[in-house]
Chain A
Amino acid sequence: MEVTVAWYLTLGAVLFTLGAVGLLVRRNPLVMFMCIELMLNAVNLTFVSLGDELGDLGGQLSVFFVLVVAAAEVVIGLGIIVAIMRRRSGATADDLSVLRG
């Protein structure tokens, strides 16, 4: 049985969907962040498999930059979460609907 690119794309789509549903359902901001990481992973998988299909290195190069952006995003996002949690511990995403200064 040959593993075609369609298998990888299907897995990527399912993984992306799971991440998106988790982002919508969960209320803990940290877990929501992890779901974003799942979505980024799904996109990375799609990039690499399509690059493999086309015989192009561009897919892997894109994944490299996605990784860098993901690292920067996690640093900033966790900094924001730490800053929020210092103000009100145990805050969920629903508690943050009042965004006044």
Chain B
Amino acid sequence: MDAAVFIVSAVIVLSGAFGVLLARNPIHAALFLVQSVFGVAVLFLLLEATFLAAVQVIVYAGAIVILFLFVIMLLGVDRAEDLDIEPIAGQRPLAIVIGAGILGTTLSALLVAVGGPTGAPTANAPLGDAGDNAQRLGEALFTDYVFAVELTALLLTVAVVGAVVLVRRLGGPLQPLPVVAVATEPRGADDDTVGEPDPDPDQEGDA
């Protein structure tokens, strides 16, 4: 039974991954990513990591992929990409060679590690059964790992502030940086040096 579930979900995961790799349209790639993520969630259930299975579906399928889809729709980049163009000569064969190298290295490292995992189980965070998984995770997170939890809170705050700063719409034409804006030269002369990227933010609608 376990083997059947594993094989079915492994097929789902891998076909989703191939879909992300080969889909011409970014929206299709995002939907294939959802498929792959759901397969991984089923595997988490099989490993009795019930809380993580739920979080996987909520965070990945519910938040991250939706964010991807929002950006695709917002930017209007859902045109099909011509996959036949190979901008750097020999890029794809080289990528496949590198991929084979990564696969060989990780497989040998991981499968050698199965023979004798070098880590010792921690004394204060044993793995429970599926029923009290969320409770054990919460207890460990808010006792032994509370400092790391605080750090992730800080990280998320920084991410939110950074995202707001990145996509903030400046009023009027783009201003030069405050340091540059010292009155050494008039504003118009400064604009000429900007070059190819169009400094006029009003033209972003013609995507």
Contact = CB atoms under 8 A, between A and B. Distances in A.
A45 B40 CA distance: 7
B15 to A, nearest CB: 10
A20 B133 CA distance: 32
A6 B55 CA distance: 24
A48 B52 contact: yes
A18 B75 contact: no
Contacts of A69: 152, 155
B14 A15 contact: yes
Contact of B155 (A33, A48, A68): A68
Given A22-B20, A38-B20, A76 B162 contact: yes
A64 B17 contact: no
A72 B155 contact: yes
Interface residues of A, number: 79
A34 B33 contact: yes
B181 interface: no
Contact of A24 (B37, B98, B148): B98
Nearest to A22: B21
A71 B6 contact: no
Interface string A19-45: 111101111101101110110010011
Contacts of B197: 87-88
A58 B122 contact: yes
Interface string B78-97: 01010001011001101110
B99 interface: yes
Contacts of B36: 15, 38, 41
Interface of B: 2-3, 6, 10, 13-14, 17-18, 20-21, 23, 26, 29-30, 33, 36-37, 40, 43-44, 46-49, 51-52, 55-56, 59-60, 63-64, 67-68, 71-72, 74-77, 79, 81, 85, 87-88, 91-92, 94-96, 98-100, 102-103, 106-107, 110-111, 113-114, 117, 119, 121-122, 125-128, 133, 136-137, 140-141, 145, 148, 152, 155-156, 158-160, 162-163, 166-167, 195-198, 201, 204, 206-207
Please list the 10 inter-chain residue pairs (A to B) with the smallest Cβ-Cβ separation, ordered nearest first.
A72-B159, A79-B166, A24-B95, A21-B99, A57-B125, A89-B207, A9-B110, A17-B103, A1-B3, A13-B106
9 contacts: A6-B111, A11-B13, A30-B29, A37-B64, A56-B122, A67-B56, A74-B68, A89-B75, A94-B87
